[in-house]
Structure 1
Amino acid sequence: MSTEARRAPFPPRPAHDPAPAEAEPQVDDEPSVFVPRRPLERPRETRPPVPEARITAPPPPPPASARFPDAPPAPVPAETTTRLRPVPAEPEPAVPPAPAVPVPPPPVWSPTPDPALSWNAPWPVGAFGQPEPYEEPVRGPGPLARLRGRTGVAAVCVVLGLGLLGGALAGSRLTGDDGDRTADSGFAAAGSLWHNVPVDQIFPPTVRGTGAGPGGADRSWTRVAVAPDTGCAGAFDPLLARALAPVGCARLLRATYTDATQSHVTTVGLLFTKADPAAMAGLAARFRTERLDRRTDLLPLPYPAKGTPAAGFGAKQRASWTVSVLTDAPVVAFAVSGWADGRTVDTPQPAPDAVRSGATSAPAQAGLGNEAQGLADRIQRRLRQTVSPATEKPS
């Protein structure tokens, strides 16, 4: 068997024939050349084409005449309403077109350079550090001018202030409204009241004391006796007379009062001194610091009058007292009270202590501290009211 015969290809297989079973190897006695076997090819499966799906609309229903051939035709409804006719819309106003904005033409490049941009062109004034034409700057006033202005304003203010002060001083001198002179004139006028004012103005016949009694009760005092104006001899205890000696004694005025029930008697007095305001202020400070108005050995003496409820009012009947040193007048005011029935008191009590709430002494329980304090306060008030009109000058 020749080589060409052995190399002849196998006949083609049908497309849908199953693969043949492996053939048994043939035995060839003659030697042959090895020829590689072609790989088996799997037959390709072919599928019939799928028809394209199409969606069709259902057929329309047959008309009623076809379905019901004997049915009469449907009546056509008559139009019973007025049909609205369309109204033509108004034409919109024509909007004028916006004015055309001229567009500058694009720069045209020219091969010829601009002479203004050349290095040889003259430079503008003030460019690249060149000096600009000089102009005088607008400036405000300098420091020296401002200082001069302020100094002038201050000088004007000082002159006006001095003028106002001078006018005020001159006016006060012309009108006599000086404060010190007014105080001095009032002090001097108070020192001369003992011989310039009637006794009824200093010691009125009746004195009303609203709220002057214990617990704020009203009081009323009636004058029963007036002592003649004399010196200070025999009017004070010896120690009190020694304490009052530095201010001197110009005149002593005293009067005795009784309450509405005539169970209490009170002697009130005004000692007109010879001292000046400084001496009176010093005496008042001494009484305040040394508490001389609280000592039972420094009491004023009462003024008894025969034929009155105060006939038996002596030194042993003194129950409460008060002493006040005035600084706006050369006057020492005092008052001393006791029972009208002549009972004696072993230990008198100062009026400031007897009027305190909760005081249990006999003078405090009887209201004798209120009698002395209330009557002395109202006599001092009348004294100041008398001094004020005397110091006023007509306009």
Structure 2
Amino acid sequence: MSSVERSPSALSRAPQTLTAGVLFLLAALAALGALATNIILPAFPTIGQDLGVSVRDLGATLSSFFLAFAVGQLFVGPLSDRFGRQRLVVIGLAIFMVGSVICALASTLPHLISGRVVQALGVCATSVLSRAIARDLFDGQELARALSLTMVAMAAAPGFSPLLGGALEGLLGWRATFIVLAGIALLLGLGYVTGLGETHAPDKRSPLSIRAVLRTYGSLARDRRLMAPAVAVGMVIGALYAFFSMAPAILLSGFGLTSLAFGLFFASIVFVVFGAGLLAPRLAQRWGTTRAACAGLFVALAGSALLLFGPEEFFVFCTALSIFLFGMGLFNPLGTSVALHPFARQAGAASAMLGFLQMGFAALAIAVGTMLPLPAYTVLGTILFVALGGAFLSFLLAR
């Protein structure tokens, strides 16, 4: 696995090429949170029986995870800008492992929710810092390429995790799923420390104080260069997680898919996002990052319109969703690159603000989806169309 030099002089220079080793670590750091989110979905019926609660009650394990994830990132970003990335990544992975063990030992729903909150507070560090580390190391088109490939991993994780979670639940029981997550975090921590290490040079670190943190976030919140594309990215991610939360009701209850078919469906859509992620940096190089990102948003908006206004048929659903995911796969890394590019010195805080908006919109979209008194198919189409329309308008301000 390729390593990056850790001397102060080397840390102040961004490498010119993205190596396979660095890409693997960035992708793994980015994907761990998404993996932990969806891997338990196939085990919800069994967990409900063991804990004496309904499957609907277990939705609190998702909403609590997202809320803790969103808030935790706001602290991780400034801390990493002051103390460096490595320390925060290692601490975050350790906290995530503790939360996973708490979940594995849970005997009640509040016990399980508390473990999920601890998991989220830990894994939020790896998610936000994967973007900050990429900004530390790369610039321009290379940054867009790094983010594109790591976003592919983030999209693949929730796609394949239901298959993995179902297999683990069937073979070893749902509690073993959390032990596996703890083991993955341990291996990732070891690989990160030995293969990448610190990337934030001491001469680029920012002072840390409550007043400074509030001033930094206040400044970022007023900066259209960050907020316009960040809100757009947040809305798109919120739409994506709305799909994840409503997919069981649509595919299992509505279209009558089996659990195996449900897992295979999720796994198959990963290739759409994968193709878009590979295409995104090429389009950015040819058209420019902002124009390519706008094209991705337009494609995703077209898919959401087909879902909302087209007939409620399985083929139409698959087609509309594929179009949406392809556009999302194009826009997400490029929009992230546009948002973070002006903030090399404040990459941690800027990435934290971006992550907060992503998880905040995800929690909002899931909450709206559960409250609207409409069929799940209609609710999903409405949320996607409104979110993509808002994202398109917001991103236009970034131009």
Q: TM-score, normalised by structure 1?
A: 0.21
Q: Which has the higher strand share?
A: 1
Q: Which structure's relative contact order is higher, taking Cα pairs within 8 Å and 6+ residues apart?
A: 2
Q: TM-score, normalised by structure 2?
A: 0.21
Q: Which has the higher helix share?
A: 2
